[in-house]
């Protein structure tokens, strides 16, 4: 599992269920300081993989997104009963 995937999962697991995180929050956690922007490509790639693997869901302003596009938030996938 990549550092970005592990960081995303760690951030999500540390939050209450249903809470979302921002992709830039992941990058900032991976590279504190001003260098976090260079990590965004890795974060976006990890998010794409995690969506395909069914691990996370994406949304923006309460609307679910099928794929990453524009601004988005990341949430752990809700499992249906």
Domains of the chain, residue spans: 3-76
Pairwise pLDDT comparison (1 vs 30), residue with the higher score: 30
In sequence order, the 6+-apart residues with CB closer than 8 A to the CB of 81 are: none
Query: Does the domain formed by 3-76 have CATH 1.10.10.10?
Result: yes
**Which tens digit of pLDDT belongs to each residue from 16-43?**
988 999 999 999 999 988 899 999 999 9
Burial code (b: 16+ CB inside 10 Å, e: under 16) for 16-25 equals: eeeebbebeb
pLDDT at position 1: 55
Rg (CA), the chain: 12
What are the b/e assignments for 4-13, b being 16+ CB within 10 Å? bbebbbebbe
pTM over 0.85: yes
pLDDT at 80: 59
């Amino acid at each position: 599992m990549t550092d970005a995937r592990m960081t995303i999962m760690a951030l999500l697991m540390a939050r209450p269920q249903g809470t979302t995180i921002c992709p830039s929050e992941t990058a900032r956690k991976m590279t504190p300081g001003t260098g976090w922007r260079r990590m965004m490509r890795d974060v976006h790639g990890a998010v794409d993989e995690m969506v395909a693997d069914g691990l996370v869901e994406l949304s923006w302003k309460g609307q679910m997104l099928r794929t990453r596009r524009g601004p988005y938030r990341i949430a752990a996938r809700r499992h249906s009963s």
